[in-house]
Amino acid sequence: MVGKDRGGILRVGLACPQGAGDFRRGFGGCMTELARTGLFDLHVELGAKMVPFAGYEMPVQYPMGVLKEHLHCRAQAGLFDVSHMGQVILRPKAGMDALVAGLEAMMPVAVAGLPEGRQRYGLFTTDSGGIIDDLMFANRGDHWFVVVNAGCKVGDIAHMRACLSDVAEVEEQTDRALIALQGPAAETAISGMIPAVMAMRFMDVITAHSVFGELWISRSGYTGEDGFEISVPNAGAVGLVKALLAHPAVAPIGLGARDSLRLEAGLCLYGHDMDTTVTPVEAGLTWAIQKARREGARAGGFPGAEVILPQLADGPARLRVGLRPDGRAPMREGVELFAAAEGGTAVGRVTSGGFGPSVEAPIAMGYVPSALSAAGTQLWGEVRGKRLPVTVATLPFRVSTYKR
């Protein structure tokens, strides 16, 4: 029997869909009233299996299946509904400089100096240096456009309203869908409709007018592939998605493959690889902390600076690393890591893990003491009571193909 499920996505024969194990923590369940995106009917029409995720009913996979969807996105182009994510406009109340300063007081990230038409990766931090959420923010001239994680958006918006009350109107965009188009054929698939995308580089943002309404397009994503994220008015979302799916290279991709794609790309999933108990330095996100926030006039002045800046200088006690199990058995979230084949206490834990379809092997990420974080370090992961060898690996598992 396939009866005893180990707490994963599916339980064969179970009446109540348990949703995505890897996506489920702290979010919606069967008893919860679930929201739907404007593309819900289209997902169902396309044969998607819908599961609860972050309070929404979202497609975890389509008939193609997780493995083939993953490979299709890497080979051609995948279309993702990410409308459950939070889209927020910040409009200055007291001048743009005050808004920029307000954002810099929330994040260890440089906001000043980001040119109009450019997007950057950001992190809201706690007073102890933990990560409240990761996000994208874009300079769109007279306002800033922020995209935050679905599971965190209610808290993030309240946090922004509290921190930016004097300097910004915080406007959640509830009348817009968000679509990601990712993969080597993404540009070709959309350039017929929006030729301007061809001139965009990674992290550029533009406004484009289309028959589906005003599109806010960024050249970014969360798969390690070149591609775009497209904010579209709800009224035009189904039309836009159908037009993109009409391109032979484009297939709809569910959350299952989205997870394995981002894992291969070495990207963190909030609530798993990072949360309020880890700092950006421990999470290996020091690249997101620009020099201007480390030294000089704008150094510090963000929540948790007293923890984060010393960690940058001296190195953290633990670090997020890539992990390659030596055998074929996947090491999933929660697997404890040991420094020896026998004895001793756990030195770390897997925070994301599974099978990498493009890597054609099991892959994982987790936290280990810095002394054990060098690539090539031999560790052991305890799977079903047995310690299996696993080797620390450099991230990403697969080189990303952003158009710089």
Give the nearest distance from C-beta 65 to other proteins in angstroms. 6
Q: Decide whether 147 or 263 has the Cβ nearer to other proteins.
A: 263
Give the nearest distance from C-beta 13 to other proteins in angstroms. 6
Q: Decide whether 87 or 260 has the Cβ nearer to other proteins.
A: 260
Give the nearest distance from C-beta 247 to other proteins in angstroms. 25
Q: Decide whether 342 or 360 has the Cβ nearer to other proteins.
A: 360
Q: How far apart are CA 379 and CA 119, in angstroms?
A: 38
Give the nearest distance from C-beta 254 to other proteins in angstroms. 11
Q: Which residues contact 306 (CB under 8 A, 6 or more apart)?
A: 129
Q: Decide whether 205 or 350 has the Cβ nearer to other proteins.
A: 350
Q: Decide whether 135 or 267 has the Cβ nearer to other proteins.
A: 267
CB 318 within 8 A of CB 352: no
Q: How far apart are CA 69 and CA 76, in angstroms?
A: 10
Give the nearest distance from C-beta 330 to other proteins in angstroms. 5
CB 229 within 8 A of CB 238: no
Rounded to a whole number of angstroms, the CA Rg of the chain reads 21
Q: Decide whether 12 or 399 has the Cβ nearer to other proteins.
A: 12
Q: H helices within 29-176, ranges in order?
A: 40-45, 66-75, 96-104, 153-163
Q: Decide whether 252 or 284 has the Cβ nearer to other proteins.
A: 252
CB 172 within 8 A of CB 226: no
Q: Closest Cα to residue 130, out of 241, 283, 1? A: 283
Give the nearest distance from C-beta 109 to other proteins in angstroms. 34
* E strands, 17-95, in order: 49-53, 56-61, 77-81, 86-92
- Sign, Cα dihedral of 92, 94, 95, 97: negative
Give the nearest distance from C-beta 176 to other proteins in angstroms. 30
Query: Which positions touch other proteins (CB under 8 A)?
Result: 1-10, 12-13, 20-22, 60-61, 65-68, 70, 256, 260, 328-330, 332, 354-355, 357, 362, 384
User: Hey, what are 135's tokens?
Assistant: 């996000």
